[in-house]
Chains A and B, each alone.
Chain A
Amino acid sequence: MALALQTFATVRDANAALKAQGTRYLGGGTLVVRAANEGDVAVSGLVRLTDPALSAIAVAAGKIRIGASVTMAAVARHPELGALAKAARAVGGPAVRNMATVGGNLFAPAPYGDFAVALLALDATITTDDGELPIEAFLSGRDSSRAIVTSVGFTLPKADGFRFLKVSRIKPKGVSVLSIAAVIEQAADGTVSSARIALGCMADRPVRAKAAEEALKGKTLDRNGIAPALAAAAEGTTPITDPIASAWYRAEVLPVHLGRLLLS
């Protein structure tokens, strides 16, 4: 049987069509078309949406809403999303970035999903027809999630408040050894008032480094100040082992790279 593609104008109709056995949502195609090409016979039908709202980026009063079909390339070149450009450019090569979507990245298994790591640090909200979910809850339930993600929303961090690092063996385009995104707010005296740190490849999906976040509070961003956070960085993580690196290696170098990111 051919891999039939159905096109819908509304999210509701597309969601209904997705209830059929073997049907998958087609975003940029980098995950699902690949699976079909590689002979994944569990994929028997594809559904896509032409609703232009899914391709929109809205910026209002520091609040960002990015449609799920917005590509990494569109994020990277958007003048008001400069802080996120590095994270968007961390995904694939130029052709992949023209195809890979924000919505798709939320479902990309480690070592992929670097942009989702950034969204986790930004404490994004994930919107579907069923309503809104905090990204942490969304990620933990994503394997059974069936509703089409329509957009992600978050508050734009202050200038220089957002930091992102992707470590890969191959340059300029390689999949992650690990990736780190951090939203750090500092008080007037320079001490950290709040920190959200998200990690890629330290589990099968993006996870928060909550112990490190806690250990940073009230500290200054210097070698001594960050030391407790680095010591706690790998706490609660279960790094993946894959052809790129072992869990051991990822755990070993996480504090090194986190330290470099925090001191940068």
Chain B
Amino acid sequence: MAKVPVQFTLNGSEKAEFIDSGTTLLNALRDKIGDTSPKGGCQQGTCGACSVIVDGELRLSCLTLAETCNGTAITTTSGLAEGGVLHPLQRAFLDTFATQCGFCTPGMIMAAKVLLDHTPNPSRDEVVEALSGNICRCTGYEPIIQAVLTAARANSQNAA
């Protein structure tokens, strides 16, 4: 089987692998590179559990072919904590009890991070819109919306 090279940065570290052509970014991250924080919930692009950030944009890694990401910078939830200190979103998800089974959590945090990166003080509607591609079956969404709003408030307080 023909292998193709892929090379990108993942959470700031250089990664280079040979993969089967046609491998999704999700499978490359999970099976080849060993970052299992993006989850495979549907492989259809309908659940958002596999969401990652590619060059600042939210992407569904299950529908993205890894070889189209050459030269990009990829962020996943496993790379958010710096020096053991949780990202404000991670902190807020903990403090507001926004996780239950946890399977949707990494994808939710990715979607929320892209929002806060561009819109530090989002309205509730903006949070709802930002999370709208991500399915959660446990929480009923409200705790997750509250977590994102809490993280935004924490951010603006830190900035002040």
A interface residue numbers (CB < 8 A to B): 1-5, 26, 28-30, 33-34, 36-38, 46, 48, 73, 92-96, 98-99, 172-173
Contact = CB atoms under 8 A, between A and B. Distances in A.
B132 interface: yes
Nearest to A2: B20
Contacts of A2: 1-2, 20-23
A172 to B, nearest CB: 5
B114 interface: yes
Given A4-B2, A34-B43, A92-B133, 17 more contacts: A2-B23, A3-B21, A29-B63, A29-B64, A29-B65, A37-B43, A37-B63, A48-B68, A93-B111, A93-B133, A93-B134, A95-B48, A95-B58, A95-B60, A95-B111, A95-B133, A96-B60
A38 B24 CA distance: 13
A33 B63 contact: yes
Q: How large is the interface on B (under 10, 10 to 19, 20 to 34, 35 or more residues)?
A: 20 to 34
B95 interface: no
A94 B129 contact: yes
B22 A5 contact: yes
Interface in B119-138: 128-130, 132-134
Contacts, number: 86
A26 B45 CA distance: 15
A30 B45 CA distance: 7
Interface string B20-45: 11111000000000000000000111
Contacts of B132: 93-94, 172-173
B59 A46 contact: no
A99 B63 contact: yes
B65 A26 contact: yes
Interface centre among B58, B60, B128 (most CB of A within 10 A): B60
A172 B129 contact: yes
A74 to B, nearest CB: 10
Contacts of A46: 22, 65
B57 interface: yes
For the complex of A and B, list the 9 residue pairs with the smallest distance between their C-beta atoms, beginning with the closest: A93-B133, A3-B22, A173-B132, A37-B43, A2-B20, A29-B63, A95-B58, A4-B21, A33-B63
Interface centre among A3, A26, A93 (most CB of B within 10 A): A93
A98 B54 CA distance: 10
A163 B4 CA distance: 46
Nearest to B56: A98
B65 A33 contact: yes
A141 to B, nearest CB: 27
Contacts of A94: 58, 111, 114-115, 129-130, 132-133
Given A33-B65, A34-B44, A38-B43, A98 B58 contact: yes
B76 interface: no
Interface in B98-144: 111, 114-115, 128-130, 132-134
B147 interface: no
B77 interface: no
A96 B129 CA distance: 12
A37 B24 contact: yes
A48 B67 CA distance: 11
8 contacts: A28-B63, A30-B63, A37-B62, A48-B68, A92-B133, A94-B111, A95-B133, A99-B63
Interface in B1-20: 1-2, 4, 20
B90 interface: no
Given A2-B1, A94-B132, A173-B132, A99 B22 contact: no
B74 to A, nearest CB: 14
B15 to A, nearest CB: 19
A92 B111 CA distance: 14
A8 B1 CA distance: 21
